[in-house]
Structure 1
Amino acid sequence: MPTIRTFIKQHIPFLITFFLIILSGCSGGSKLGNANKAYLIGEYDRAAVQFKKAYKKEKNKYTKGEISYYLGECYRKTNKPKKATIQYARAVRYNYEMADAGLFLGDCLLASQKYEEAIEAYEEYLTKEPLDKRAHNGIASCKLALNDSITSRYTVAKIKKLSNTRYSDFSPGYASSDYDQVYFSSMRTEKKKRKKSRITGQGGSNIYMAKIDAKGEWTDPELLDETINSEFDEGSATMSADGKEMYFTRCRYDNEQPRSAEMFMVSRSGGKWGEPAQIEIADSLLVAHPAISHDGETLYFVSDMPGGRGGKDIWMAKKGGEGGWSEPVNMGNVINTAGDEMFPSTRMDGSLYFSSNAHVGYGGLDIYRAVYNEEKQDWEVHNLGRPINSDGDDFGIAFKGLEEAGIFSSSRGSSKAVDNLYEFSLPKLEFSMKGQVYSRKDEEPITDAYLRLIGTDGTNVKLNIRNDGTFGAKLAPQTEYVFMVASKGYFNYKHKLSTVGLGDNKDFEFEVGMMPMEDAIILKNIHFNKDDFELNTDSKQELNRLAAILGMNKEIILEIVAHASGEGSGSQAVVLSQKRAQAVMDYLMGKGITTERLSAKGVGDTEPMVVSKRQARKHKFLDEGDELSQRFIRSIRGNSNKEAAHSINRRIEFRIKD
């Protein structure tokens, strides 16, 4: 007996006459008769047993390849890629003429995480079918999995309270605006006498319901009554926004012909469900998995009706017309491929989610998000990445409204193709700032400073600096900030930062060097390469901070003093240092500082640097108080140490003029 999950996800219905033509080519018809019939009506588990028996007795290599192909199909359709791989490889080895054996071999190798072998299989298939986009996407999927280039911050955990059996649970959907009630499909066999599926060995599919109790725990799943769960298979339930209507799929079957899947709608009144009514929307054996939009005006569903892109496609219909719905419209080739697109679901923001085995992904079914681009007048499709998607089948996602949280189903980690329900959520982004305030004169912490933090979210707080000069604060997402540090005897320090557009947690770290209002002022990071007077990126960033300080303190008049070291004779060093001073002055003028407030002076190597405590900690060959004269530098051992000392000497100082 087929299941609704298997029918929608794996079974491609064929006409009986088509199967008779294809499968009658196998020699030994009596041996294959039972296998052919079981395969025809979708009983893949039973068909696999019969095909295996026929394979052992068969002598003709071509027929053995044909049997291997259909045995591979039985395993692929019941989500056993490792077993299917062996069979497709045999079919290819025996030169069985069905070209897609090579494609499916690549698909199963991909799902088995054998990416290099999968690429080889796809490339071999492309020599026969060079334009098949499924194979090209398969190669891209292997490279995606190898590089793991699409990841997200979602956290995923199995819902053990709901998926606590050895049978598949899948396709969840919320049933209330509080998101404390969920409907889902399950193949669990609670009744001892209940027949098991000849496809998977599991039970048939029924719809269950569970709630969150007062303790915040899920209750035991309850089987819906017989007005919804019939002798056939039901599943893939979706609710209207007000929770008063349920849309679901029913899969009818018999033992002589292909299955048919149909969509139904049932209304609830007074807490009780009424009698389901069939939604007659298309003339096809497969019309399944309805998903209603938030406004109730658009119905999405899955079908393989004519006019599609191949395999199973997602279609849509608008409310109105005969039977209550308009003529179905295919969702187009941005969403649909030559493979299978299934399990659509919608969100309040108008985005559409679905699963596909032919878009670029990690193998099997992956979940994708489709957003309509008004400018392009078409959809844009994005893979949700890991950990939502895995090497197994991932499908049937349901969100808690606009929250980045919800439930989906996945076969990850299961060797027997059992689906389970998983909760997912996107943790809130966390941002912070921290740093230390110190004097640029002696590089010691400043303890009597304070910090004012102002944000576009309304933040306006004063933070005291700790005794060791450090500070810290939490920041909000999507917010622009400016903070100012002030201390008596020092010029104010101002800086901007932003969390707008950041997709990952971040800690902003700062070293706030306060400029004293006396003596020489040395700016960190304003250094030059040997024999050069061009400003580098670090120098420009430091000068940007200086320009901001000068903008806040318009009474300051600065003398820019540049130093050289180890760069020619005394006169050559003076000329070079003068060019450096002028380069700094020109840059500050470009930032709006007037000429009257600036002057430039080059002193060559006549005023060597005296090593500070911080510099001595950084450069082990120096001691605090060392004077980096040219004579002293020549006495330093090692050319790299000598050049490091020269680099320290090549600096810019800013002296405040009265």
Structure 2
Amino acid sequence: MKMKKLLYFFLFFCFFFNANAQTASIESADKKYDSYAYADAINAYEKLVKKGVKEERIFQRLGNSYYFIGELKQALVYYKELFNINENQEAEYLYKYSQCLKADGNYTRADEALDKFSQKAPQDSRAILFLKNKSYLEDIKGNSGRFDIADAGVNSADSDYGSTILDNKLVFTSARDTGSIVKKNFKWTNKAISTLYTVKLNNDGSIDEPVFFHKRNLEVNLNQSTPVFTKDGKTMYFTRNNSVNGKRRQNENKITFLKLYKATFIDGEWKDIQELPFNSDEYSVAHPALSTDEKILYFASDMPGTLGLSDLFKVNILADGTYSTPENLGSEINTEGRETFPFISEENELYFATDGRPGLGGLDIYVSKISKEGTFEEVQNVGEPINSKQDDFAFMINSKNRNGFFSSNRDGGHGLDDVYRFTENRRLICEQQVSGTVTDQETGEVLANVTLVLFDEAGKVTPVEAKTDANGNYIFLNVKCGKKYFIRSSKDEYLPKEVSFAVKKSTGSVVMPIALEKKPKPIVKAMPVVIKANSIKPVKVNITIGTDLAKLLNIPMNFFDLGKATIRKDSEPKLQKMVDMLKQYPTIKVDIRSHTDSRSSTESNQILSDKRAQSTKDWLISKGIDAGRLTAKGYGETQLVNKCADGVKCTEKEHQQNRRSEFIIVSM
């Protein structure tokens, strides 16, 4: 009996010891994960999995660890296990799972995961972008095939990435083994510390052997990468681990983040290395890019105000050498995913890498034209072969010869990341020419000097005006592809007309003929009527077909609340004048016409004006006017009385002139 008790005690002790050892192992792995030591965390978690531990959180973190070091296929293994344990995961795991499925070439299942993600997080910009364009693969296909790519010839068995050009030399980042006796590793990947190398680009296309980039001042035991140089070659901005006097610096949680530094080229060396003032020990700031005029510095960061895991920001470089407050580039560019590695071309295009938009897998490279006002035009995926199923990033291009470099961890490379060179043989810009002939609807006669205004559905495109020539022809050049547009035409003696059309996502032309209808000529027949205006004694006037009774009776142009189609109570006494007039002269027939200003969309304005015209007709009928004497029609924003079209800045008073109701005599 005593022996049995001892045996039970021994078994309990072993169980207790194993349980405590397992708990300690999990805590140790968690500590590595929380400090961004993902490679070490992977080793610790995988040891637990091999021992049979199947906790949901372990598979979550294993998947995330591989995801963050760019090994998406291995991340997929653990995300699959995670969803086998419990398919009801947070939305973010569904999104990462979809990215890993793409890396494995399974776009059908990836889109199924994105559908589930969109149901769980409908307000997430990534869900909105996916639902808005489920045919994104077709769009990417249309943008593909524009580049010839090749190995840059500088790659090693380790990580090589983030290239730029200085004095006909390629400057890039590498974690290659330098042959040092002591090899320092980066905890994020457990690979060698990365530093800057340079290689001469010869005119015949060959390259020399890579060497350290200014070894004396920049070769330190810290990660440093992604430099950008001013055009005079005297100033460099670059990324480096948080450090003081060459020693790594950690925050209170013992985490070392990335920071931006500035160096000046003095007497053949990079000196006066300064930390930029918007860095912090609590977040990373990395991967600088300069605007074409070198007055704006762009970068990636996860600082407060970031929409996702990392966003793109900018600061103004002020005349005295100081910097403005960092400004997030906003939701036009940033998503809840990762935006990183910005580059500004000489044509003022922003190239960047993100996993937050519908793409081919991992980080894809996108481009957006920066307008003169500083806003961003449509963001487009640059397509294959630049983008792949894996991570593609650090794109830079010479706008003159269309040559450049980018980085990728795609299959078939030398190491973890590799630098590739490319030549762009076809531009991404997609524009169409829109033209046509304007004619008389009845006779077919061509009409000269017709004014036409082109604008897009959202009113984001500044209206462009054209006039028909002597042969009735018009033309609009450089119309962006893939949008819906409207042309509003007007000419004296003709009714205004608006036509809509869609421009396909391919370069070409659109022919849009327009036929205008002549304004009906009023029957020259005068009818004397007596009216009371503004409580003054009765006045006898002559009315004709085409007379607007609202103006004659001094009835206000608008008697509706903003956005509504119900007549306000305070407007009814004034409208009663119309009732009295129509009852006094029972042979008069009236066409009720409702107009809006150009604000809001064309479609909603048309619907609103239709409702208002019908509401006015119904009100007059309710007051005893025969329905057969009334017609009603809404014209939306098609018959503006001034310049205030979409995109034109106008005062409230000017917009008010377009919000009007008319009561036009059509018979008497």
Is 2:150 the counterpart of 1:161? no
- Correspondent of 2:66 among 75, 86, 105: 75
Alignment of 1:603-642 (within 5 A): none
Corresponding residue pairs, total: 404
SS in 2 for 1:327: coil
Question: How much has 1:358 moved relative to structure 2?
Answer: 0.7
Which amino acid in structure 1 is aligned with residue 49 of structure 2?
Y
Within 2, Cα distance between the matches of 1:88 and 1:362? 19
- Correspondent of 1:262 among 255, 259, 262: 259
Alignment of 1:14-33 (within 5 A): 28-33=22-27
What do the CA deviations read for 1:115-157 (whole angstroms, capped 9, x no partner)?
1111222223334333333245457788434775333453333
Which amino acid in structure 1 is aligned with residue 24 of structure 2?
S
Native 8 Å contact 1:363 1:390 kept in 2: yes
Distance change in 2, residues 1:142/1:422 (3 Å): farther
User: What is the match of residue 307 of structure 1?
Assistant: 305
Which amino acid in structure 2 is aligned with residue 188 of structure 1?
R
What do the CA deviations read for 1:73-130 (whole angstroms, capped 9, x no partner)?
1111111112111211222232375442222111211222111111222223334333
Distance change in 2, residues 1:296/1:147 (3 Å): closer
SS in 2 for 1:35: helix
Percent identity, aligned pairs only, is 28
User: What is the match of residue 49 of structure 1?
Assistant: 43
Question: How much has 1:308 moved relative to structure 2?
Answer: 2.4
- Correspondent of 1:220 among 209, 213, 225: 209
Question: How much has 1:293 moved relative to structure 2?
Answer: 1.9
Within 1, Cα distance between the matches of 2:141 and 2:27? 48
What do the CA deviations read for 1:434-487 (whole angstroms, capped 9, x no partner)?
xxxxxxxxxxxxxxxxxxxxxxxxxxxxxxxxxxxxxxxxxxxxxxxxxxxxxx
- The CA RMSD over aligned residues, in Å, is 3.2
Distance change in 2, residues 1:138/1:257 (3 Å): farther
SS in 2 for 1:121: helix
- Correspondent of 1:230 among 213, 220, 235: 220
Question: How much has 1:206 moved relative to structure 2?
Answer: 0.5
Alignment of 1:355-504 (within 5 A): 355-374=353-372, 377-414=375-412, 418-427=416-425
Distance change in 2, residues 1:367/1:380 (3 Å): same
Native 8 Å contact 1:144 1:150 kept in 2: no
Structure 1 length-normalised TM: 0.56
Within 1, Cα distance between the matches of 2:235 and 2:126? 37
Distance change in 2, residues 1:69/1:298 (3 Å): same
Within 1, Cα distance between the matches of 2:75 and 2:129? 20
Question: How much has 1:322 moved relative to structure 2?
Answer: 8.7
User: What is the match of residue 177 of structure 2?
Assistant: 189
Gap runs ≥5 in structure 1: 1-25, 430-499, 504-658
Distance change in 2, residues 1:40/1:124 (3 Å): same
Distance change in 2, residues 1:406/1:138 (3 Å): same
User: What is the match of residue 535 of structure 2?
Assistant: none
Distance change in 2, residues 1:400/1:321 (3 Å): closer
Within 2, Cα distance between the matches of 1:425 and 1:50? 44
Within 2, Cα distance between the matches of 1:213 and 1:416? 22
Native 8 Å contact 1:115 1:142 kept in 2: no
Native 8 Å contact 1:174 1:400 kept in 2: no
Which amino acid in structure 2 is aligned with residue 114 of structure 1?
N
Which amino acid in structure 2 is aligned with residue 79 of structure 1?
G
Distance change in 2, residues 1:120/1:214 (3 Å): closer
Which amino acid in structure 2 is aligned with residue 248 of structure 1?
F
- Correspondent of 1:340 among 319, 338, 341: 338
Within 2, Cα distance between the matches of 1:334 and 1:266? 32
Which amino acid in structure 1 is aligned with residue 219 of structure 2?
N
User: What is the match of residue 106 of structure 1?
Assistant: 98
Question: How much has 1:271 moved relative to structure 2?
Answer: 2.8
Stretch moving more, 243-252 or 273-282: 273-282
Distance change in 2, residues 1:273/1:415 (3 Å): closer
SS in 1 for 2:191: coil
Which amino acid in structure 2 is aligned with residue 182 of structure 1?
L
Native 8 Å contact 2:152 2:421 kept in 1: no
SS in 1 for 2:120: coil
Native 8 Å contact 1:102 1:124 kept in 2: yes
User: What is the match of residue 458 of structure 1?
Assistant: none
Distance change in 2, residues 1:118/1:142 (3 Å): farther
- Correspondent of 1:207 among 196, 199, 210: 196
What do the CA deviations read for 1:406-443 (whole angstroms, capped 9, x no partner)?
111112225897211111112389xxxxxxxxxxxxxx
User: What is the match of residue 528 of structure 1?
Assistant: none
Question: How much has 1:201 moved relative to structure 2?
Answer: 4.6
Question: How much has 1:202 moved relative to structure 2?
Answer: 2.9
Gap runs ≥5 in structure 2: 1-19, 243-247, 428-476, 481-668
Within 2, Cα distance between the matches of 1:415 and 1:147? 27
Question: How much has 1:249 moved relative to structure 2?
Answer: 0.5
Native 8 Å contact 1:234 1:248 kept in 2: yes
SS in 2 for 1:389: coil
Which amino acid in structure 1 is aligned with residue 400 of structure 2?
L
Distance change in 2, residues 1:146/1:140 (3 Å): farther
Which amino acid in structure 1 is aligned with residue 256 of structure 2?
R
User: What is the match of residue 272 of structure 1?
Assistant: 269
Question: How much has 1:341 moved relative to structure 2?
Answer: 0.6
Within 2, Cα distance between the matches of 1:232 and 1:355? 24
Native 8 Å contact 2:148 2:424 kept in 1: no
Within 2, Cα distance between the matches of 1:373 and 1:214? 35
Question: How much has 1:274 moved relative to structure 2?
Answer: 1.4
User: What is the match of residue 172 of structure 1?
Assistant: 163
SS in 2 for 1:119: helix
